[in-house]
Chains A and B, each alone.
Chain A
Amino acid sequence: MDKKNAKGWLYVLPALLFLGAFLVYPLVDVLIYSVEEGFNFASQTYSGVGGYNYAYVLRDPYFIQAIKNTFILVAVTVPVSTGLALLISVGLSSISKLRELYQTVFFLPYVTNTLAVGLVFMILFKSTPYTDGLANLVLIWFGIAPVDFIDGPYWAKMTVLCLYTVWVVMPFKILILTSALASVNRDYYNAARIDGTSSLRIFTRITLPMISPSLVYLIITGFIGAFKAYSDAVALFGTNLNAAGMNTIVGYVYDMLYGSSGGYPSYASAAAVILFAIVLTITCANLLISRRHVQYLS
């Protein structure tokens, strides 16, 4: 290694050390934990190496429930939040009056504390001895029987969780999309107008391709974020998510480590590796699809 090379390594050393200690080592450790069978945390011993941890986790009904919940959450919230954000951004960029006001309003959830938002949703949806919650009041007003959204049937709880997630993730998407829309050169729209292009065609053939890099970014990070959901469910349904039937994969990992039934780092690691495999697969699929359709322009 010549001198110049050594100097270069010296410069990247701090970053390498940091990444190694806090990123690479834990990752490798999780993989090792996940294959150590009968691991005892106190004595740091294990009885053998194999796939038992995975087999256990995949047979655990709580994990199956967590996977189901997470997939529903991802499948509903990513398209809905991205679609709504696109709609709102296009609306925002085509008005001139009160635009800043609306932008601020739409951005507020982003700077609001998750638990505070959870409280607000409780007030909206929770039934107490005194009130059925605002949502139920509206339902009753329309002559529909009230539903317990927090402790009631599964679909009601899932609806609230999805609503909550969409509401929390949308501001960031609106922010990204409004700036993407604003950066499209007006001359493209002028040229299209002079050529008699309909608004729909302008949107699908010009606007969408022009903002497609931002859209793909939002969809990929949206998928990853939704797969990692945990705090949203806690904010709504409390810490005992397994009992509520609303646990997520990350919630399951946490419970296996620290929850009341916890203390099983091997199972937690196996679940985490499974989550990693799912996210990796979906992100790769996303990138493959988008590469065919997205315009990255110099």
Chain B
Amino acid sequence: MKVTLEHLTKTFPARGKKGREVTAVNDFTFEIPDGQLVGLLGPSGCGKSTTLHLLCGLQMPTAGRIYFGDEDVTQLPAEKRGVGMVFQNYALYPHLTVLQNILFPLQNLKGADKLSKEEMNRRANEAAGLVQIGELMERKPGELSGGQQQRVAIARALVKMPRILLMDEPLSNLDARLRLQTREEIRRIQKETGITTVFVTHDQEEAMSISDRIVVMKEGLIQQIGRPQEVYDDPANQFVAQFLGNPPINLFSGRIRGGKLLIGEEAVLEAGALPDREVSVGIRPEGFVPDPQGPFTCALSGVEVMGREVSMVCTHQAAAAPTVRAIVGADQVEAKAASVRFRLKPEKVFLFDRETGERIYG
């Protein structure tokens, strides 16, 4: 099912005397192609959960329209939208067994949609099989681990064959190892069922690793939409560049003089035809290549070993953050040097406007 959002806006009225109106979602327009997994990504308070609530109908938009396929569902109440939702805390009914939890949405069906008992059980078992919890059907949610509860929640959302599947921070309550496992699981289930899925996360790594597309949001505004790699390689602005990537991008204040990009007094790259101006320079950690003849000098304060690679922790007076991190191959490092010279990979260096943070293409 293709999902289309048109100029979707949600404004919350001011609360109290000093309160002001809050626009949680501001003029969203985008389209989710059928069968894709889309991650809404942004820091807390960026409006991603509100977007999810608008999609499932728990909240009604102030303006704009939502389409599932060709059907306008903007005014449709939550119970008629046919969406499946996985809540951040799973919201499994604690007094019902796993089977009863999964059956719950099916037992709500009325009239012509009403299913026979056998059919309900068949579908519940099918959904349970899909998330591999078949042997846990008689347990109560309290007796399950976090990862198992998560699977039950997914099964409950899938059992009624929803038109779209929504997930609110599906992995945030799991420990690191389980998170890796579960995100692959979610990806597999989504692929197998082919259900258009929207999930919300503040974890860029999570979003990048399983999404077909990510939507980066900030303060209710879409910053960039695209395939994870595209967004990472070609960020639209400084916010997106900073939000994606771990370790984060290194920012420097720089300037363009006579076709060269200067950081401090060092001309580090050719700047093409760009006119002279002040800029903010973002360099991905993997954009540094140690080179004794390189143009860019940093004071080296330490080396962190990560196994296959090492992270060189440096300082530079023009850097925005106290440390600059460069990820390089383990064999390229001289840990004892007081300073280190780098050559920069041009495709890993981005220029932004100092004031607006907008990308400057050169």
Interface string of B85-103 (1 = CB under 8 A from A): 1011101011110000000
Beyond A191-B91, A206-B93, is A198–B108 a contact (Cβ under 8 Å)? yes
Q: Is the CB of B142 within 8 A of A197?
A: no
Beyond A185-B89, A297-B95, A297-B142, is A194–B56 a contact (Cβ under 8 Å)? yes
Interface stretch (choices B76-84, B131-139, B215-223, B235-243): B76-84
Partner of A196, one of B93, B96, B109: B109
- Total residues of chain A contacting the partner, CB 8 A: 20
Q: Is the CB of B142 within 8 A of A194?
A: no
Which residues of B are found within 8 Å of A221, using beta-carbon distances? none
Q: How far is the CA of A66 from the CA of B104 in the complex (A)?
A: 49
**Does chain B have a CB within 8 A of A100?**
no
Which residues of B are found within 8 Å of A29, using beta-carbon distances? none
Q: Which applies to chain B's interface (DSSP): helix, strand, loop or mixed?
A: loop
Q: Is the CB of A196 within 8 A of B105?
A: yes
Which residues of A are found within 8 Å of B83, using beta-carbon distances? 194
B88 (CB) vs chain A CBs: closest residue? A187
Which residues of B are found within 8 Å of A209, using beta-carbon distances? 93, 95
Which residues of A are found within 8 Å of B160, using beta-carbon distances? 195
**Does chain A have a CB within 8 A of B330?**
no
Q: How far is the CA of A198 from the CA of B85 in the complex (A)?
A: 17
Q: Which residues of A from 158 to 206 have beta carbons under 8 Å from B?
A: 185, 187-188, 190-198, 201, 205-206
**Does chain B have a CB within 8 A of A298?**
yes
- For residue A294, give the distance in angstroms from its CB to the closest CB of chain B: 9
Interface-central residue, A191, A205, A209, by most chain B CB under 10 Å:
A191
Q: How far is the CA of A194 from the CA of B104 in the complex (A)?
A: 11
Beyond A187-B87, A187-B89, A298-B142, is A195–B95 a contact (Cβ under 8 Å)? no
**Does chain B have a CB within 8 A of A295?**
yes
Q: Which residues of A from 56 to 80 have beta carbons under 8 Å from B?
A: none
**Does chain B have a CB within 8 A of A210?**
yes
B77 (CB) vs chain A CBs: closest residue? A193
Interface-central residue, A185, A191, A194, A210, by most chain B CB under 10 Å:
A194
Beyond A188-B91, A295-B94, A297-B142, is A194–B85 a contact (Cβ under 8 Å)? yes
Q: How far is the CA of A254 from the CA of B150 in the complex (A)?
A: 60
Q: Is the CB of B80 within 8 A of A195?
A: no
B: interface residue count bin: 20 to 34
**Does chain A have a CB within 8 A of B305?**
no
A193 (CB) vs chain B CBs: closest residue? B78
Q: Which residues of A from 66 to 101 have beta carbons under 8 Å from B?
A: none
Q: How far is the CA of A206 from the CA of B78 in the complex (A)?
A: 18
Q: How far is the CA of A23 from the CA of B110 in the complex (A)?
A: 58
Q: Which residues of B from 11 to 65 have beta carbons under 8 Å from A?
A: 56-58
Q: Is the CB of A197 within 8 A of B78?
A: no
Q: Which residues of A from 81 to 130 have beta carbons under 8 Å from B?
A: none
Q: Which applies to chain A's interface (DSSP): helix, strand, loop or mixed?
A: helix
Partner of B95, one of A192, A201, A210, A298: A210
Q: Is the CB of A194 within 8 A of B94?
A: no
Q: How far is the CA of A185 from the CA of B89 in the complex (A)?
A: 10
- For residue A120, give the distance in angstroms from its CB to the closest CB of chain B: 39
Q: How far is the CA of A192 from the CA of B85 in the complex (A)?
A: 10
Beyond A190-B58, A297-B142, is A195–B104 a contact (Cβ under 8 Å)? yes
Beyond A191-B85, A197-B108, is A185–B142 a contact (Cβ under 8 Å)? no
Q: Is the CB of A188 within 8 A of B79?
A: no
B104 (CB) vs chain A CBs: closest residue? A195
Q: How far is the CA of A190 from the CA of B81 in the complex (A)?
A: 13
Interface string of A203-243 (1 = CB under 8 A from B): 00110011000000000000000000000000000000000
- For residue B331, give the distance in angstroms from its CB to the closest CB of chain A: 51
Q: Is the CB of A195 within 8 A of B93?
A: no
Q: How far is the CA of A99 from the CA of B223 in the complex (A)?
A: 41
Beyond A196-B105, A201-B108, is A187–B91 a contact (Cβ under 8 Å)? yes
Which residues of A are found within 8 Å of B93, using beta-carbon distances? 188, 205-206, 209
- For residue A10, give the distance in angstroms from its CB to the closest CB of chain B: 40
- For residue B150, give the distance in angstroms from its CB to the closest CB of chain A: 14
Which residues of A are found within 8 Å of B109, using beta-carbon distances? 196
Q: How far is the CA of A160 from the CA of B311 in the complex (A)?
A: 83
Which residues of B are found within 8 Å of A188, using beta-carbon distances? 91, 93
Which residues of A are found within 8 Å of B79, using beta-carbon distances? 193-197
- For residue B88, give the distance in angstroms from its CB to the closest CB of chain A: 8
Q: How far is the CA of A198 from the CA of B83 in the complex (A)?
A: 16
Which residues of A are found within 8 Å of B56, using beta-carbon distances? 194
Q: Is the CB of A191 within 8 A of B108?
A: no
Which residues of B are found within 8 Å of A193, using beta-carbon distances? 58, 78-79
- For residue B55, give the distance in angstroms from its CB to the closest CB of chain A: 11
Q: How far is the CA of A54 from the CA of B58 in the complex (A)?
A: 64
A201 (CB) vs chain B CBs: closest residue? B108
Which residues of A are found within 8 Å of B108, using beta-carbon distances? 195-198, 201
Which residues of B are found within 8 Å of A198, using beta-carbon distances? 108
Which residues of A are found within 8 Å of B81, using beta-carbon distances? 194
Closest 3 CB pairs of A and B: A196-B79, A195-B105, A187-B91
12 intermolecular pairs with C-beta atoms under 8 Å apart? A190-B91, A191-B85, A191-B87, A192-B104, A194-B83, A195-B156, A196-B105, A198-B108, A205-B93, A205-B96, A297-B94, A298-B142
Known A187-B87, A206-B93, A295-B94; further 4 A-B contacts with Cβ < 8 A: A190-B87, A195-B108, A205-B93, A295-B95
A positions within 8 Å CB-CB of B: 185, 187-188, 190-198, 201, 205-206, 209-210, 295, 297-298
